[in-house]
Structure 1
Amino acid sequence: MTTPWADPACPRDDRVEALLAEMTLEEKLAQLGSAWPGVERVSGNVAPMQDVFARQTEFASASKNGLGHLTRPFGTRPVEPSEGARRLAAMQRELMDNTRLGIPAIAHEECLTGFTSYRATVFPTALAWAATFSPGLVERMAHAIGSSMRRVGVHQGLSPVLDVVRDYRWGRVEETLGEDPYLVATTGSAYVRGLESAGIIATLKHFAGYSASKGARNHAPVSMGPREFADVILPPFETAIRDGGARSVMNSYADVDGVPAGADPSLLTRLLREDWGFEGTVVSDYWSIAFLRTMHRIAATDGEAGARALEAGIDVELPDTLAYGEPLAELVRSGTVSEDLVDRAVRRVLRQKADLGLLDADFAPEVDTEEPIDFDPPSHRAIARELAEQSIVLLSNRDGLLPLASSTTSIALVGPCADDPNAFFGCYSFPNHVLPHHPGYDNGIETLSLLKAVTIELPATRITYEQGCPVKDIDRSGFDAAVEQARRADVCVAVVGDRAGLFGRGTSGEGCDAEDLSLPGVQDELVEALLATGTPVVLLVVSGRPYALGAYADRAAAVVQAFFPGEEGGTALAGMLSGRVTPSGKLPLQVPRNGGGQPSTYLHAPLGGNSEGVSNLDPTPAYPFGHGLSYTEFAYTGLSLSSSEIPTDGEVEISCLVRNTGDLPGAEVVQLYTADPVALLPRPILQLNGFARVYLAAGEEQRVTFRLHTDLLAYTGPDLRRIVEPGEITVMIGASSTDVRLRDTLRLTGALRTVGHRRVLHTATEID
């Protein structure tokens, strides 16, 4: 006879209550814990403090009372897809057959640049997704990622990262979607929809404030006022929950104004659940509960740390069970911690397991492995190529050197990123995240370096290559050979930037923070030496963060930015050089002018803008937010507002005509900005409130219409309420935050209005 909780015909909550009533305290706590089988055999950290906290525990012992989560069964070491599926199914079968209640675990994996597994497609990094300004394409990518994961029995993905960039020196900038909360919210929500549509639980990271650490140092404290926190940091998370349907949230390691996120009930319960209505699970970032004891020092024991986290609202401890096991059980038995708190979290976990089908009597973990499992099918590579092509940002193109003329007979390809396909991968790609700990394995996927891709793209052109210098090491021994090759060539393509890694093993990635924004190592010196040859230099930056390029803006023949464009990056960049690909990416953050100066993001109020005689430092960027050139030109005309005056709870249609005035087809990202010239508090000089990517044939014209609701103009006022106030708003449409082509004034009428959490979060667009 089927028990009530295993009957899918019963209402979900009834099933959960029936199962909860059957559980012992130990079985309940087991559902709040996790196990990471095999992590002790990894040589080198793939998570912070792994060497300190990882334990050698037999799976049977770790799961004797059941298990909430299985941690990274594919993403810990190289395993062939079919073999990985069989191993995961075997662990699930062991849980089902050898525990009293037989409840399977939720298996989670990283999936920021694709399924972080051997032989899986490596898509561009999140910063590259943002540069496309194409949420629909990002949604397609996420669905593809989720489909691969679900195919082999994975249920939850630890993505996307919704941290808004506040300082470009932070190592994890590559994982973000840039510095604008609207762009982050819109693109991040698209990723969530794609992943969730494939049946994978999306996990929003890192809630909240992680990216605003002091000095851009990983895990550093955050000093931020409540208005900035509410207006910049929180909107992407709220949007991804309400519009994206995210079912999980991961806490931040950081403390904000002295309060660690992992022990903050005002954040994890009152705001997240009571105000926003979130009904999913909150999972801890890896070992963040233990960090309440070891790093934040607000608990004396693991049990006390677990109690603080559980009370705040963390439901599941990842990646292993340190605090939510026996240490917490002792406090519950003694009456120090209420078992009601345990039950609250267990209900949330069991609801998700019911939704995933894991409680059903007929659930079987085995998957079909008779047919080969392809984690990198042609359809995924096609999406990766499209993303890579659309993410390339042409920053400058003096005298129209690009695309390279057919008369170009020789190219000197120089730089540490020119002949390394892994230079195109982010730190959470399997080749850069896991394979460095497993020498002897190839990447498991077909990848082309830029050198190989250009050689294929331009078979009639003589291509020479010199590394010049390493990415990171102080080594100038290759300068002379590189300079000689540049002198002999018609054009020199200098390929510089980053190598992604973890915890100091790279120049970009988790734990790879930068002291300043000069190119790593001696790469700036190499670029200067190449410029001095007199040969036209195309400066191609392949990186995970923006580096200071002000010194080259007027000296390089062209400057190109690529944010880790993934496995198809070489082919995409080669196509951009030849002209087969017309660049259309736009900057999701600014490119600074000088390495030592840390410009504010483009969202600064007037006080944070140009020095205007009050300082000797110029904070303006070399290239602004939203900037990106094309091989064709676009004209903007015909700005129209459906009304010049609307109430503070109204909506207005704002439209313009965009024409491709050049000779080539191309895509333009039409950007809608607004500004509040006089407000109760200082407001940003301008702020993105809508965008549309428009593909136009040569000579073609289309009308772009934005439906802007006044909720998008709200901000946190003097009394910390979100408000829309009456008065004049400047409406601007243009090609970047500094290239405004059209502007008008909109007047808001009526009373000052308080805006709640059911506000409009998105500006709808139409193209016709």
Structure 2
Amino acid sequence: MSDVGLPPVSERVRSLHARMTLDEKLAQLVGYWVDQGDELVAPMAGEMATSTKYEDASAHGIGHLTRVYGTRPVDPVERAAWLWNEQRRLREQTRLGIPAIVHEECLTGLAAWKAATFPTPLAWGASFDPDLVDEMGRLIGDSMRQLGIHQGLAPVLDVIRDPRWGRVDECIAEDPYVVGTIGTAYVRGLQDAGIHATLKHFVGYSTSQAGRNHAPVHAGPRELADVLLPPFEMAVRDGGVRSVMNSYSEIDGVPVAASEELLTDLLRERWGFDGVVVSDYFSVAFLHTMHAVAEDLGEAAALALAAGIDVELPTGDAFAQPLARAVRDGLVDEELIDRAVLRVLAEKEELGLLDETFDEPPAEIDLDTPAHRDVARRLAEESLVLLSNDGLLPLDRQAPTRLALLGPNADSAEALMGCYSFVNHVLAHHPEVPLGLELPSLADALRVEFADAAIDVVAGCDVTGHDASGIPDAVVAAREADVAVVVVGDRAGLFGRGTVGEGNDVDDLELPGIQRRLVEEVVATGVPTIVVVLSGRPYAIGWAISGPATPSAVVQAFFPGEEGGPAIAALLSGRAAPSGRLPVSLPRSAGAQPYTYLHPILGGPSEVTSADSTPALPFGYGLTYTTFEHSRLTAPEESATNAEFTVSVDVVNTGGRAGVDVVQLYARDLYASVTRPVAQLVGYARVPLEAGQRAVVEFQVPSARLAFADRRGVRIVEPGDVQLWVGGSCEEQETSASMRLTGPVHEVTAADGRTVSVDVTAPVDA
């Protein structure tokens, strides 16, 4: 048996494996969803649910226990007691005594009742702050470890390609470098706490046709190599991630779950990944039911196993009895099963499971400590993007005597959280169960922030639907107020139970329902109006940014989590300063999709078409309460194609308030052997400066940051001229420089750097 893709396997593991029967081996390659009921928390879960009783499925042990905390609202302490007993049973009452890996969703925090809910990944991207995301990952991992959980199904490293896709709120950005650096930071944080992270969804899931979930993908090999794969490679090579999950996608007719080229040749042989590949829920069976490349579940199991999937989640629909029959009928080589089993046993040894005694479960546990809330607040504040401001913001906390707080999301805690938050993912099926933690709505937070003001809360309309009967009351409340705050956007959910989230794809990008009408009628009163968009995707709200009748200010909040209400209130009052930047372009329209700022010349506007895909606001855009000036960008005249080069820029806070600048370094390869983007983010840095302070930001850039796939599909750095610039977005060239890459064409290897190091001098008075 080949050892390619195997971790270092101890003699203990090899000895344990040598004792195993076929049934015991297969038991290690499947999960069991003990609590699965009628709740729809995974695609087609009702159709694919196994009928095998747990006692029978675990008679020979079990590989994974699926979401024992995250399927229903269960008390964490009581559930931990159950889990400790169950692990002891597996140790004491099965022949080999191997405990199970427990996995849970943890995209916005541990998806369990009473656990902290952090901002959604799109907000991580808006923060441009990997260090804070690392800190969040550690806290999430600490909570999971205390509960006996071993593996987290996060982060999502899909690069956003089309905002119509419902799972955009789970993604970080439309730029692969931002996705890679922030996603890898999350991996490090989670794994430093002892939890194995799982990269999702490898690969191409976000590139689905027309932005539809589970739709075919038509990405070419260059788009895969240059855009979709780099974040995963970074998390594997630099983050040391221990688990990867396949995507549901079929790319050019080949389902990823059956792609040996991706799951073995690329992931393991080229990148050196030696962890465990787990299937996305039911995706092995989907080879039979949805892709129709397998005639039955046994053939589906054979295809997935040969491709490189080691564990079938959430249950053993294909890897249990159907795979056993295929082996006994001589249709599957048992060596493929041995390969996967050794990887799983090595993972269990690495996690300490083979030595764990499960003596005493936790008697008490706090899943939402002050530390959790502090990080949730800071990340929420950093993620808020100020899209427009005519000077109304920040509001004087003492000035408004009456605020009209309007809109369907004004007094909704659920509107602050993404699809994979426990509140929207699970509690939506249990309306009788309390939220389990403190989740102040924006209305709650504004009553605290503006304690002396009268606040009138009127919904005006729902998130969806066309009932306009409440709009007149909202207009009246606005007219009677000093300032109106209209809170619109999304309600996250799954599979049609919301406006964004898994399975909630759209064919237009207007605000859902009649929310635009509500905003326009409030603005028409002439009362100073602030619009807050609480959403999981960017909407086509260019009409609210520029035009004859626009709000005084627009704030974009990408599901900012449990501290999102106070964070928004603090931004409106000026107690917190806006520093978020758009991690995805603000679209002009649905008809302009798919769009990416990483487009070649032909992807932008031109005189030969009447259609314009230019976004309403570009990637990287965001206002602050002060002003920053960038100057004196310096770069070497020449640098070798296989070397690093240094770029520096001066940054000055020219305004009257303290603030944080997100310094963005872009590049353009002017002429190349294949078409290249008109702009590409090379590096970024968050730089806090007091009013009047100056700092120098220095970027140490490996040449591989300018690599691309050539006509052979090989990633190279070519000699040639490169334009560099720094500005407030990908479109703003505030200060620029030119350099030339010299020497022979350089083929990128694993030894080449993938990240840019940044050094910021101590701020001084300008």
TM-score, length-scaled by structure 2: 0.97
- The answer (yes or no) to whether the contact 2:398–2:450 under 8 Å persists in 1 is no
Worse-matched range after superposition: 204-213 or 586-595: 586-595
- 1:658-689 deviation line (CA, Å, top 9, x unaligned): 11122211111001111011111110001001
Q: Give the aligned partner of residue 303 of structure 1.
A: 298
Conserved? CA contact 1:518–1:596, under 8 Å? no
The corresponding residue for 2:596 is 601
Q: Is the 8 A contact 1:218 1:510 kept in 2?
A: yes
Structure 2 match to 1:626: 620
Question: 315-324 or 13-22, which moves further after superposition?
Answer: 13-22
Q: Equivalent residue for 2:692?
A: 699
Q: Deviations over 1:43-65 (max 9, x none)?
A: 33000011111235432211001
For the 8 Å contact 2:50–2:317, the answer to whether it is kept is no
Q: Contact 1:592 / 1:599 at 8 angstroms: preserved in 2? A: no
| Matched residue SS, 1:515 | coil
755-764 or 541-550, larger mean C-alpha shift: 755-764
Q: Tell me which residue corresponds to 1:517.
A: 509
Q: Which residue of 2 aligns with 1:338?
A: 333
Q: Counterpart of 2:188?
A: 193
Cα shift at 1:410: 1.9
Alignment CA distance shift 1:660-1:367 (3 Å): farther
The structural deviation recorded for 1:219 is: 0.4
Shift of 1:406: 4.0
2-side partners of 1:107 and 1:423: how far apart? 29
Q: Give distance in 2, aligned partners of 1:761 and 1:586.
A: 23
CA distance in 1, matches of 2:54, 2:366: 28
Match of 1:243 among 238, 247, 256: 238
Say which is worse superposed, 713-722 or 733-742, in terms of deviation.
733-742
Gaps of 5+ in 2: 1-7, 762-766
Q: How does 1:143-292 map to 2 (within 5 A)?
A: 143-292=138-287
Runs of 4 or more consecutive aligned structure 1 residues displaced over 6 Å after TM superposition: none
The answer as to whether partners of 1:162 and 1:185 remain within 8 angstroms in 2 is yes
1-side partners of 2:731 and 2:288: how far apart? 47
> Partners in 2 of 1:634 and 1:622 — Cα distance?
22
RMSD between superposed Cα atoms in Å: 1.2
d(CA) in 2 for partners of 1:365, 1:113: 28
C-alpha contact 1:151 1:367 (8 A) present in aligned 2: no
Aligned to 1:29: 26
In the TM superposition, what is the alpha-carbon distance from 1:81 to its structure 2 partner? 1.5
Shift of 1:439: 2.5
1:527 is displaced (CA, Å) by 1.3
Alignment of 1:53-92 (within 5 A): 53-92=48-87
Amino acid at match of 1:135: P
Confirm or deny: 8 A CA contact 1:120 1:445 kept in the other structure: yes
1:496 is the counterpart of 2:488:
yes
Distance 2:594 2:102 in 1: 41
Say if 1:12 and 1:354, in contact at 8 Å, map to a contact too.
no
Secondary structure of the equivalent of 1:88?
A: helix
Cα drift, residue 477 of structure 1:
1.2
- CA deviations on 1:553-592 (whole Å, 9 max, x unpaired) are 1212111100000000000000111110100001100111
Residue aligning to 2:565: 570
Classify the secondary structure of the residue corresponding to 2:619.
coil
Q: Deviations over 1:337-364 (max 9, x none)?
A: 101000000010000001011112xx21
> Which residue of 2 is the match for residue 121 of structure 1?
116
Q: Which amino acid aligns with 2:206?
A: S
Aligned length: 751
Q: Distance in 2 between matches of 1:596 and 1:255?
A: 24
Q: Does 1:728 align with 2:721?
A: yes
Q: Please name the residue that 2:448 is paired with.
A: 456
Q: Is the 8 A contact 1:169 1:515 kept in 2?
A: yes
Give the deviation of 1:640 after TM superposition.
2.1
Whether contact under 8 Å (2:631, 2:650) holds in the other structure is yes
How far apart are the structure 2 equivalents of 1:600 and 1:757? 30
**Residue 4 of structure 1: aligned partner:** none
CA contact (8 A) 2:397 2:450 kept: no
- Name the residue aligned to 2:764: none
Distance in 2 (CA, whole Å) between partners of 1:606 and 1:439 is: 51
- Which stretch shifts more, 329-338 or 114-123? 329-338
Please state whether the residue corresponding to 1:631 is helix, strand or coil.
coil
8 Å CA contact 1:551–1:593 kept in 2: the answer is no
**1:552 matched to 2:547:** no
Of 518, 525, 533 in structure 2, the residue corresponding to residue 533 of structure 1 is 525
How many angstroms apart in 1 are the aligned matches of 2:197 and 2:358?
Answer: 21
Shift of 1:405: 6.7
Checking the alignment, whether the CA contact within 8 Å between 2:50 and 2:316 is kept in structure 1 is no
The whole-number CA distance in structure 2 between the counterparts of 1:28 and 1:592 is 50
Contact 1:34 1:71 in 2 (8 A): yes
Alignment of 1:373-452 (within 5 A): 373-404=365-396, 406-452=398-444
Query: Are 1:19 and 2:16 matched, yes or no?
Result: yes
Retained in 2: the 8 A contact 1:466–1:482? yes
Letter of the structure 2 residue corresponding to residue 15 of structure 1: R
Q: Which residue of 2 is the match for residue 719 of structure 1?
A: 712
Give the Cα separation in 1 of the matches to 2:311 and 2:743. Answer: 47
Q: 1:524 to 1:596 in 2, by over 3 A?
A: farther
CA contact (8 A) 2:61 2:90 kept: yes
Matches within 5 A, 1:103-142: 103-142=98-137
Measured after TM superposition, the shift of residue 262 of structure 1 is 0.1
For residues 53 and 412 of structure 1, do their structure 2 counterparts lie closer, same or farther at Cα, with a shift above 3 Å needed? same
User: For structure 1, which segment, 725-734 or 102-111, has the greater mean C-alpha deviation from structure 2 after superposition?
Assistant: 725-734
**What is the CA-CA distance between 1:89 and the residue it aligns to?**
1.1
Choose which of 474, 478, 481 in structure 1 pairs with 2:466. Answer: 474
Alpha-carbon distance in 1 for matches of 2:702, 2:589: 38
Separation in 2 of the partners of 1:368 and 1:501? 33
Instruction: Tell me the equivalent position of 1:592.
Output: 587
AA of the residue aligned to 1:741 = E
Deviations 1:118-168 (A, max 9, x none): 000000000001110000000000000000000110000000000001000
Match of 2:682 among 689, 694, 700: 689
- Distance between the aligned counterparts of 1:13 and 1:741, measured in 2? 56
TM-score (norm 1): 0.96
Distance 2:656 2:85 in 1: 59
1:763 equivalent in alignment to 2:760 = no
Amino acid at match of 2:384: I
Query: What amino acid is aligned across from residue 644 of structure 1 in structure 2?
Result: E
Question: Given that residues 397 and 449 in structure 2 are in contact (C-alpha distance below 8 angstroms), is that contact kept between their aligned partners in structure 1?
Answer: no
Match of 1:6 in 2: none
- Output the amino acid matched with 1:97: E
Indicate the residue corresponding to 1:39 in structure 2.
Answer: 36
The alignment partner of 1:399 has SS state of coil
Work out the CA distance in 1 between the residues paired with 2:551 and 2:120: 26
Tell me, yes or no, if structure 1 residue 93 matches structure 2 residue 88.
Answer: yes
* 2:611 paired residue number: 617
Task: Tell me if structure 2 keeps the 8 A contact 1:189–1:240.
Answer: yes
Q: Among 633, 639, 642, which residue is 2:633 paired with?
A: 639
Q: Which moved more, 1:128-137 or 1:535-544?
A: 535-544
Partners of 2:529 and 2:553 within 8 A in 1: yes
How far off is 1:709 after superposition? 1.1
Q: Distance in 2 between matches of 1:311 and 1:475?
A: 54
For residues 57 and 484 of structure 1, the distance between their equivalents in structure 2, rounded to whole angstroms, comes to 60
SS of the residue corresponding to residue 582 of structure 2 reads coil
Aligned counterparts of 1:366 and 1:632: Cα–Cα separation in 2: 56
